[in-house]
Amino acid sequence: MKVKKLNRTFFQRALGRPATGLPENNDFWSLSDGKITLDLNQAPELLKPAGAVRLEGNLPVKVLVVHGEDGQYRAYENKCTHAGRRIDPVPGTETVQCCSLNCATFDLDGNKIAGPAKKTLKTYPVNVANGKLLIEIG
Ligand code: FES
């Protein structure tokens, strides 16, 4: 699989600044019994395929939620398995990529396809029901 690098500056990569932003507020999701319930109607970042959002704070792990170009939702632990930097989806590809200079790149199932990461990226089961995205983080 050919690897495309997300267009980021040297400084963004050196500082580990991900392309995916934090939401304006965190009112659209909650955590209970190891499950995140996210109201898709309140998440403009995820309305269109190729959108993504970071969920952080008040969670045991950082989570990246991606609405793939195939229409499927996916959730990842937002922690590159090389040295822990955050990851981003790469538009026009079926990959997610570390925001660091080393650009570890993973397929949509979290398998490493390029870069220094040794382990698979952790993914979480997701389910869509009644306009809600359920993410099982355990
Ligand atoms: S932290 Fe991701 S490639 Fe190094």
Per-residue pLDDT of the chain in tens (138 residues, 90 and over written 9): 679 999 999 999 999 999 999 998 899 999 999 999 999 999 999 988 889 999 998 899 999 999 999 999 999 999 999 999 999 999 999 999 999 999 999 999 999 999 999 999 999 999 999 999 999 999
| 15 ligand 1 Cβ < 6 A | no
Our answer on whether the CB atom of 98 is closer than 6 Å to any ligand 1 atom is: yes
CB hemisphere CA count around 136 (13 angstroms)? 5
Whole-model pTM: value is: 0.95
- What integer pLDDT is reported at residue 2 of this predicted model? 77
User: How big is the chain, counted in residues?
Assistant: 138
Q: Is 116 in the pocket of ligand 1 (CB under 6 A)?
A: yes
- Candidate CATH numbers 2.102.10.10, 3.60.15.10, 3.40.50.2300, 3.40.50.2000; the one for domain 10-136: 2.102.10.10
- Per the CB < 8 A criterion, the answer to whether 8 and 89 are in contact is no
Residues 6 or more apart in contact with residue 18 via CB below 8 angstroms: 54, 78, 85, 86, 87, 88, 99
For the chain, what are the domain ranges? 10-136
CA distance between the termini of the chain: 31
